């Protein structure tokens, strides 16, 4: 039985709900900030897509991190939380005119651009306003990260980024326009990456590209944005509750070859918020099948879609039981066969009404929730809400 959850308080609450350990979030944020600060010119933007719960965003913004946004809604949420516009980057393949216009009006730091028509749209909207928009080209480094196929992004076949062969033309386009200014290069190779070699490979590509741009076109850009992607240990959320940010930043510091004064930007999402969050649920029924037994919980795939969507592993703990283990499938109530959190997992013998924690749900849990089957989005409870 886990004791680091306020189980007595949970017993009085309606389930399911997202539970966030504020102390752990703050410790994680302090670690990120302190480790990044060891290297001159390193800037961290929190990837809002991982979790845009306003109360968490307030805490994150208060530590001084910037924001990495992928929609006008995220830019608005970051601004509302108090992230200065000068620390907001806006990425995404499909920015609409409305989203570009509001971001220009807010005066965000940079648009990470992914196509020629997008550059044209930003240029004309900036011209209408009499401003010059800073843009970074999102370059597709064509690196396959060691992660799930659905969350690699840096391959030529992915919809993201601009391929090497097209780079010259894209730079020509930007240089020919008066209301966009090329200030950086942006990369992102994928998410949930635990192998530092993938980031080292990215550094190699960045170095190559910088040399090429410098030798061929005399270009040295002030900003290099290496994206996010640092993974977390889903298998051991307590032992590895704070990711190894020291190693992560040191890896970039060692392998990136920077020109004098160049600034390095990071867009970290999962590594900042995943471990502080759990989805708390109750066992509604224990169902014995002919060859399996199921714990049917009151949370479903619409509250945490990662297992259904990516076959992702999340630790599941019974907070009410210290009985001997049995083997279960833990499933939700949604009318979909994929509404399964885990299969054939050893979990302490579970009874109807037991409270369970689905761990490491702080990133891409609440943020990806949806209302299928008329199910309400669960409430969120912060540890600071509980006496
Ligand atoms: N920057 C860009 C351009 C991105 O596309 C992403 C994530 C990030 C930063 C943040 O990556 P992180 O540090 O969180 O790995 N829903 C999936 C993950 C999708 C990630 C999408 N892009 C999941 O639940 O695993």
**287-336 pLDDT tens trace:** 999 999 999 999 999 999 999 999 999 999 999 989 999 999 999 999 99
Distance, CA 10 to ligand 1 centroid (Å)? Answer: 30
pLDDT range class, residue 205, cuts 50, 70, 90: very high
Which residues of the chain does CATH 3.20.20.10 include? 22-274
pLDDT given at position 180: 98
- Three-state SS string over 161-174 comes to CECHHHHHHHHHHH
Q: Is the Cβ atom of 231 under 6 angstroms away from ligand 1?
A: no
Complete DSSP assignment for 259-327? PTT-EEEEEE-HHHHTTTEEEEEEEEEEEE-SS-EEEEES--TTT--HHHHH-----EEESS--SPEEE
CB of residue 227 inside a 6 A radius of ligand 1: yes
- Residue 164: per-residue pLDDT: 86
Instruction: Give residue 230 CA to ligand 1 midpoint distance, Å.
Output: 9
Q: Is 364 in the pocket of ligand 1 (CB under 6 A)?
A: yes
**Is any atom of ligand 1 closer than 6 Å to the C-beta of 366?**
no
Instruction: Find out whether the beta carbon of 278 lies less than 6 Å from any atom of ligand 1.
Output: no
Ligand 1, atom nearest to 229 Cα: 15
pLDDT of residue 1: 47
Report percent pLDDT > 90 for the chain: 92
Q: What pairs with residue 317 in β-bridges? A: 357
Would the pLDDT of 206 be above 60? yes
pLDDT in tens, 210-258: 999 999 999 999 999 999 999 999 999 999 999 999 999 999 999 999 9
Q: What is the largest CA-CA distance in the chain?
A: 70
Q: 337-380: per-residue pLDDT in tens?
A: 999 999 999 999 999 999 999 999 999 999 999 999 999 999 99
What residues does CATH 2.40.37.10 cover in the chain? 275-386
The CATH code that applies to domain 22-274 is 3.20.20.10
- Residue 313: the pLDDT is 98
- Computed over every residue of the chain, the mean pLDDT equals 95
151 CA to middle of ligand 1, Å? 7
Nearest to 205, CA basis, from 244, 159, 164: 164
Query: pLDDT tens digit string along 255-277?
Result: 999 999 999 999 999 999 999 99
* Class of domain 275-386 (CATH, top level): mainly beta
210 alpha carbon – ligand 1 mean position (Å) = 25
Torsional class of 92: left (φ above 0), alpha (ψ -120 to 50), beta (otherwise): left
Residue 41 has pLDDT above 70, yes or no: yes
Ligand 1 pocket, residue 32 CB under 6 Å: no
Q: What is the pLDDT of residue 386?
A: 95
Q: State the closest ligand 1 atom to the C-alpha of 267, by its place in the atom list counted from 1.
A: 9
Token output for 44: 């961290």
189-to-8, 149, 248 alpha-carbon distances in Å: 43, 12, 15
Give residue-wise pLDDT tens across range 143-183: 765 555 555 555 555 677 899 889 999 999 999 999 999 99
Q: In the chain, where do the E strands start and end?
A: 17-20, 42-47, 66-69, 88-90, 110-113, 133-138, 180-186, 223-225, 263-268, 277-288, 293-297, 316-318, 325-331, 340-348, 355-358, 379-382
DSSP, collapsed to helix, strand or coil, labels residue 17 as strand
Average confidence (pLDDT) over 32-60: 98
- Which amino acid residue places its CA nearest to atom 24 of ligand 1? 364
- Residue 253 CA to residue 251 CA, distance in Å, equals 5
Q: Is the CB of 16 under 6 A from ligand 1?
A: no
Strands 355-358 and 133-138, by their bridges, are unpaired
Q: Residue 270: CB within 6 Å of ligand 1?
A: yes
pLDDT score recorded for residue 161: 87
193 DSSP β-pair partners: 230
| CB 62 within 8 Å of CB 29 | no
pTM for the complete prediction? 0.96
Ligand 1: which of 267, 273, 362, 370 to mutate, most ligand atoms within 8 Å of CB? 267
pLDDT category of residue 24 using cuts at 50, 70 and 90? very high
């Amino acid at each position: 039985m886990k004791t680091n959850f306020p189980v007595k308080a949970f017993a009085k609450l309606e389930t399911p709900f997202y539970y966030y350990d504020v102390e752990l979030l703050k410790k994680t944020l302090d670690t990120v900030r302190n480790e990044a600060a060891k290297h001159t010119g390193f800037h961290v933007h929190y990837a809002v897509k991982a979790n845009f719960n306003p109360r968490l965003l307030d805490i994150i913004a208060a530590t001084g991190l910037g924001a990495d946004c992928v929609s006008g809604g995220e830019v608005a949420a970051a601004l509302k939380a108090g992230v200065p516009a000068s620390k907001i980057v806006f990425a995404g393949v499909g920015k609409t005119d409305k989203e570009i216009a509001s971001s220009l009006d807010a005066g965000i730091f940079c648009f990470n651009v992914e196509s020629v028509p997008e550059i044209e749209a930003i240029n004309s909207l900036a011209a209408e306003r009499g401003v010059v928009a800073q843009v970074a080209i999102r370059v597709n480094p064509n690196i396959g990260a060691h992660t799930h196929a659905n969350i690699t992004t840096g391959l030529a076949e992915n919809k993201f980024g601009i391929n090497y062969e097209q780079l010259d033309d894209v730079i020509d386009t930007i240089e020919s326009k008066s209301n966009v200014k090329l200030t950086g290069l942006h990369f992102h190779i994928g998410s949930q990456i635990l192998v530092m070699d993938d980031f080292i490979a990215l550094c190699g590509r960045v170095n190559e590209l910088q040399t090429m741009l410098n030798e061929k076109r005399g270009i040295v850009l002030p900003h290099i944005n290496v994206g996010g992607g640092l993974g977390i240990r889903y298998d051991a959320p307590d032992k590895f509750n704070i990711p190894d940010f020291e190693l992560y930043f040191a890896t970039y510091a060692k392998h990136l070859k920077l020109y004098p004064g160049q600034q390095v930007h990071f867009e970290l999402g999962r590594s900042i918020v995943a471990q502080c969050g759990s989805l708390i649920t109750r066992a509604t029924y224990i169902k014995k099948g002919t060859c399996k037994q199921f714990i049917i919980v009151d949370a479903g795939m619409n509250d945490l879609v990662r297992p259904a969507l990516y076959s992702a592993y999340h630790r599941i703990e019974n907070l009410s039981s210290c009985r001997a283990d049995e083997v279960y499938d833990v499933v939700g109530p949604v009318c979909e066969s994929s509404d399964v959190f885990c299969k054939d997992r050893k979990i302490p013998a579970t009874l109807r009404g037991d409270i369970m924690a689905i761990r490491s749900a702080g990133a891409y849990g609440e943020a990806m929730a949806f209302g299928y089957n008329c199910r309400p989005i669960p409430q969120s409870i912060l540890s600071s809400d509980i006496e």
